[in-house]
Structure 1
């Protein structure tokens, strides 16, 4: 099983990272993919990848919540890293209109710029959307020339949004939200195209039930998989096989 989106390099894991990785392995999670968020996260992310080279793989990108008026200079530094290290994806990138719309134009510029890097380098993209699925799809539609691939991570949208995402050739990352009673995903997951579904935690955030509100970790990928299995009325093994195969192909693992 693959946790396709985990921030285990974050300070929340500094005291017990080895144990966190051990618990993941004990639950059958044998790959943990690490999205970058800003300039400060690069060093701890690469150190985590180096500590667990058979398990962890890094991505490189600028998260929309860390976009500011200095965006061009930040992007130049992020872009330089692609010549220094091998990354499996451009991520995590996207649009976030939940917290603050001050730098909306800069967010759109950063998103489009990084989509073009992905085309040039033939890498998938990992997309963060919050209160912005419509805006993100509009920008992505303009840039999709058939060469872009990737995932809308932490998907919690409608059946119609899922179809629009799939029609652009993109996957859906299912995480802890899938297990929330009031999340509405119980109405959506039974109708998803399983060829486009991958699993994630987004740890330390959004822990699945029964750990909701606590620190999330890669071992809980199994709880998300079980929820998908229950809603689809298929076996856990089938969910594991399908989603792991999808993730392996998408990220060329």
Structure 2
């Protein structure tokens, strides 16, 4: 069995309320032994910590998702910051980023919120878990002043072009997160990944979303990460064991704080 790390799963979400413990067992049985959990916003922290603080191998992160930015964002972001500055241990700042797919109303506010959370990542020496949808120009604009800093992290759910990858990988402390999208029939990602070194890739599910083939359309879970690894084995023409080892090493380069707890 190949040991894998799911660098992005929302197992604390309500979609798992009926069988969360079983989902954890299924992940372990599939060889997915470490689960990194990005927070969503001020309303999700307690559910995430209730899970992570009672289960080995579950690592909480703290952040404010761009789609949660609304008219009350200052107060809500302050709640998240209080958690960050509490005695609770977090392993990354996330999920943060830019999302203009659904709504552009709070574009500028999203940029401000992202910038503040980048500063948290630098202050605490934690990796940044970055979500971006229909907003690459804005994301790169916010990131630009931090080029050359010690900032590290993951560009989560990468589905871009070779050119997008080059711009993102110019940030040398970052990896690209690859999930079930790579298994989709019409995905262009397999061709793009052939131009990207495996040493810059980490695996993720983004469960309960983006289930890989043959589970597409169903609820995703961490056990299905194996299907993503199998697809990468095919793309890179390397044994599954090597995919597991390399992507897990890559994850530990990002989540330095977690390394000692493995």
Q: TM-score normalized by structure 2?
A: 0.94
RMSD over aligned CA atoms reads 0.9
Q: Which residue of structure 1 aligns with residue 78 of structure 2?
A: 76
Aligned residue in 2 for 1:213: 217
Which runs of 5 or more residues in structure 2 are unaligned?
none
Alpha-carbon separation, structure 1, partners of 2:20 and 2:233: 29
Offset of 1:190 from its aligned partner? 1.5
Match of 1:233 in 2: 237
2:136 pairs, out of 133, 137, 153, with 133
Q: Which residue of 1 aligns with 2:125?
A: 122
- 1:165 is aligned to 168
Partner deviation per Cα, 1:113-155 (whole Å, 9 max, x = no partner): 1001111111110000001123212211222342111111000
Aligned mates of 1:49, 1:212 — CA distance in 2: 27
TM-score of the superposed pair, with normalisation by structure 1: 0.97
Cα pair 1:141 1:168 within 8 Å, conserved? no
Within 5 Å, give how 1:84-95 maps onto structure 2.
84=86, 85-95=88-98
Tell me how far apart the structure 2 counterparts of residues 145 and 185 of structure 1 sit (CA, whole Å).
28
List structure 1 runs of 4+ shifted beyond 4 angstroms.
none
The count of aligned residue pairs is 252
User: What is the SS of the residue equivalent to 1:191?
Assistant: coil
Superposition pairs of residues 29-44 of structure 1, within 5 angstroms: 29-44=32-47
The residue aligned with 1:55 is 57
Q: Is the 8 A contact 1:112 1:143 kept in 2?
A: no
Alpha-carbon distance in 1 for matches of 2:146, 2:115: 8
Equivalents in 2 of 1:111, 1:82: separation in Å? 15
Distance across 2 between alignment mates of 1:138 and 1:193: 25
Among 230, 238, 251, the alignment partner of 1:247 is 251
